[in-house]
Amino acid sequence: MTPPDSGTVPRRGWSIAVVLTGVFVSSLDLFIVNIAFPDLARSFPTATLSDLSWVLSVYAITFAALLAPAGRWADQSGRKRAFLAGLALFTLASALCAAAPSLGWLVAARALQAVGGGLMLPSSLGLLLPLFPLERRGAAVGLWSAMGGAAAALGPPVGGLLVDAGWQWVFLVNLPVGVAGVLVGAWALREVREESRTSPDVLGALVLAVTVGALVAAIVQGETWGWTDVRVLGLGAAGLVGIALSAVRAVRHPAPVIEPAILRIRAVALANVATMLFFAGFGAMALGAVLFLTQIWQHSVLRAGLEMAPGPLMAAVCAIPGGLLATRYGNRLVGCAGSLLFAGGGLLWATATGADPAYAADFLPAGIIAGIGSGLALPCLSGAATLPLPPERFATGTAMVSMCRQIGLALGAAVVAALIGTRPDLAAFHASWYFMAACGLAGGVAMLGVRDTGPRLVPVAGAVAR
């Protein structure tokens, strides 16, 4: 496959806009749903925090399991086709979420929404990168990451406004954007596909979903059931067996969910590990912050959304400069610096916040520091995990790093639910912030192992990457 030259692609500006819109709405949904948690708890009063956490976790687990096979399918069957199908399904599932009469319905609709996101996201970067010349692809990754940061910045305040009219509106907001994106994308996007065809590992994807689900369930229910309860131990054992089976599938299947040939590239493997660690901390931050502000400081959902916004806004502002800095100084140094700043924000929250509200002195500075760190780290994580790959593996590489991101988010939310679910006191939130800091630190250490060697020949699954 030869990617189209960026200067000859028709309707290039519209193509970039549609792809970035898809990335934006899928990221916006995560942060809007976080801010809706207090309202969901009132709508479903018999549900515990552990039950409600599945509204987030089922999305992340389903998303993670589908990303790699969906990325493979997008590479082979066409990235435009996969992107538009995913965006259409995501939009339809958003309507089903809004219509949910019960928590079980909502969780099921969220799983369907994740199927749409799983089709859409891996093909997004694969569609975006060929629209830019090689020397500007670092900036393209920064722009792609900035959409996630912008969604994170807008999610809390927009979610706070929408929740005032009912939590259903956090899903209904996706409908006009999704419909417009499908219509414009069908006209503007150009199809890009790989020549070879190998069926993706559907069974491997199911095994991965069950594995992550079992591990998340063990973490979520451990505090409630008891860590030595036979159910928790059984879930943990199922997770370990699933990890072993996933490793076997990766070696034996011609198109596995986790592709060993890609992970043999040192920068790609370490970037994926760093991504999982970083986003475990990010998931803890996203859920823990809204619960802290609404439960410990007793702020309204709207006020909490506005108070959370400056950190994600800094992430959006810093993402494009982060991509440019990575192009000049390397993903290793910039990504490590960003991860350490993120960890510093978590550590400051853990040591500075108290039971008495002191937003400007205690909460805001740490949020801004964590936001700057996120803005620097995100394009480096994505860039290190995808740019060493050949063009025909862009969607597959994006799927793998996105899969690690979603697994990390699910684990982070599960840890917060376990820490706060049974005793939502100040000490539990401080433990969440320490967990956030530890994940950021570990992600930064992993990024230090990335070696930025510049363009080189890398064998990947029978292809040659430059």
In the chain, what percentage of residues exceed pLDDT 90? Answer: 31
Residue 74 backbone dihedrals phi, psi, to 5 degrees: -65, -40
Q: What is the pLDDT of residue 3?
A: 42
| Paired tokens of 103 | 């928590």
pTM of this structure: 0.77
CA quadruple 45, 46, 47, 48: dihedral sign? positive
Beta-bridge mates of residue 208? none
12-190+257-452 is a CATH 1.20.1250.20 domain: yes
Q: What does residue 459 show for φ and ψ, rounded to 5 degrees? A: -75, 130
Whether residue 42 is predicted with pLDDT greater than 90 in this model: the reply is no
Phi, psi of 422 (to 5 degrees): -100, -20
Q: What value does the mean pLDDT of the chain take?
A: 83
> What Å distances lie between residue 381 and 144, 187, 319, 465, CA to CA?
12, 32, 11, 19
pLDDT confidence band for 327 (50 / 70 / 90): confident
Bridge partners (DSSP) listed for residue 465:
458
pLDDT in tens, 142-199: 777 677 667 766 777 888 888 888 899 989 989 999 999 999 998 888 887 765 556 6
Let me know if 302 is exposed, middle or buried by CB neighbors in 10 A (0-12, 13-18, 19+): middle
The pLDDT > 70 percentage for the chain reads 89
